[in-house]
Amino acid sequence: MISVNNALYNNSGYDTGRNFFTRMCWYFVNTLIFKSYLFPFNSLKIFLLIFFGAKVGLGVLIKPNVNIKYPWNLSIGDNTWIGEGVWIDNLVKVEIGSNVCISQGGMLLTGNHNYKKKSFDLMAETIVLKDGVWIGAKAIVCPGVVCHSNSMLSVGSVAIKDLKEYSIYQGNPATFIRTRDISL
């Protein structure tokens, strides 16, 4: 029987999108400002994201202890909230629409490994959260998933497939529960 051999791992086809110096600067900024509880200043966070290449709309709120892998692979629409302890592991593009809420501890994971290959190669796919999406606390969105307009992924659930608009999903893997009815 063949076994995984991590010594064969090769991600040379993967491009981080920036040079080593920029990645190291972001690493320190991310650690000292974003992943910290010591800098609650939202305007500084927005400025730094834009400085490092993110596209950020108006009225975006980023809570403490947020981990963002690569800001140059991030787009955030207007009036979006990113809760405490969120991890945006964006090896490739993550597009977050307007009026989105990613609750505390939510995870957006763009990368995975090919378990069928001995070399355990990296695979990365974009994630898209359309306008009005709500990702519940401790919920996970996996690589390649599109959460369509006003869909909801409930607490602790795992989205491995696209979520339909105005729909609520729950579980691991997440399944459709009911229609999301938004009233006045």
CA distances from 159 to 46, 113, 127 (A): 28, 17, 11
Architecture of domain 18-179 in this structure: 3 Solenoid (2.160)
User: Would you state the pLDDT for residue 13?
Assistant: 77
| Range 52-59 average pLDDT | 98
Confidence of residue 11 (pLDDT cuts 50, 70, 90): confident
Query: Is pLDDT above 90 for 1?
Result: no
User: Would you state the pLDDT for residue 41?
Assistant: 87
Residue 151 and residue 53: Cα distance in Å, rounded? 28
| Range 79-96 average pLDDT | 98
Q: Where are the domains of the chain?
A: 18-179
Residues 116-155: tens digit of each pLDDT? 999 999 999 999 999 999 999 999 999 999 999 999 999 9
| Range 16-27 average pLDDT | 96
Average pLDDT over the chain, rounded to whole?
96
User: Would you state the pLDDT for residue 68?
Assistant: 98
**Reported pTM:** 0.96
Query: Which H/E stretch holds residue 15?
Result: none
Q: For the chain, how big is the Rg over CA atoms in Å?
A: 17
